[in-house]
């Protein structure tokens, strides 16, 4: 892996910033890679489109801003509408399939779908949908190791919620691994 630009988008309240933080922490602290993160959200914060942008690289990152993400994770239709034109034409797009209609995508983009909200609700807390997406991201992209991401999740979530969040991570990871084997 040389340099991979990642954009995570959704609406405020979905844990978009925490998702980016966890991915960056996993890469830089637990996987011995380099990572940068920037974030953007509207003045309304909760409910409006927001994003976190990361760069993960084996080498030093000299310019920290994402220009042409090769990987995009989208958890709301508004974020899809706003951010999807920025994805690399041969990039990978991961979406929350029950909240995002990915119409108008070029055929060259690799699309992966997961019902992250439904999985989170099955676990008893809709709020862990972002951690389901973290697991899915880990399996589909392979950019960060499963072990590093688990450690980052465990050390980044509120005390007392580690077990639930690790279950959410595993469910997302399993969904992503199944999707990868189904496409082979």
Q: Would you list the domain boundaries of the chain?
A: 3-183
Q: How far is CA 183 from the centre of its chain?
A: 20
Q: What is the pTM of this model?
A: 0.93
List Cα–Cα distances, 140 to 45, 80, 111, in angstroms: 29, 19, 10
Q: How far apart are CA 154 and CA 38, in angstroms?
A: 22
Per-residue confidence of the chain (184 residues) as pLDDT tens digits? 589 999 999 988 899 999 999 999 999 999 999 999 998 866 545 567 789 999 999 999 999 899 999 999 999 999 999 999 999 999 999 999 999 999 889 999 999 999 999 999 999 999 999 999 999 999 999 999 999 999 999 999 999 999 999 999 999 999 999 987 776 5
CA 24, 176, 139, 86 torsion-angle sign = negative
Say yes or no: domain 3-183 is CATH 3.40.920.10: yes
């Amino acid at each position: 892996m040389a340099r991979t630009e990642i954009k995570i988008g959704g609406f405020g309240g979905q844990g978009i910033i925490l998702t980016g933080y966890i991915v960056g922490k996993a890469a830089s602290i637990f996987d011995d890679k380099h990572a940068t993160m920037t974030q953007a959200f509207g003045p309304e914060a909760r409910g409006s489109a927001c994003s976190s942008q990361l760069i993960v690289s084996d080498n030093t990152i000299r310019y920290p801003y994402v220009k042409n993400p090769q990987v995009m994770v989208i958890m709301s239709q508004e974020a899809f509408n706003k951010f999807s034109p920025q994805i690399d034409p041969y990039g990978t797009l991961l979406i929350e399939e029950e909240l995002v209609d990915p119409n108008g995508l070029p055929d060259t983009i690799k699309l992966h779908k997961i019902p992250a909200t439904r999985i989170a609700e099955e676990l008893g807390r809709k709020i862990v949908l972002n951690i389901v997406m973290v697991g899915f991201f880990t399996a589909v992209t392979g950019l960060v190791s499963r072990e590093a991401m688990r450690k980052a999740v465990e050390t980044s979530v509120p005390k007392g919620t580690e077990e639930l969040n690790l279950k959410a991570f595993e469910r997302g990871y399993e969904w992503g691994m199944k999707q990868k084997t189904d496409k082979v």
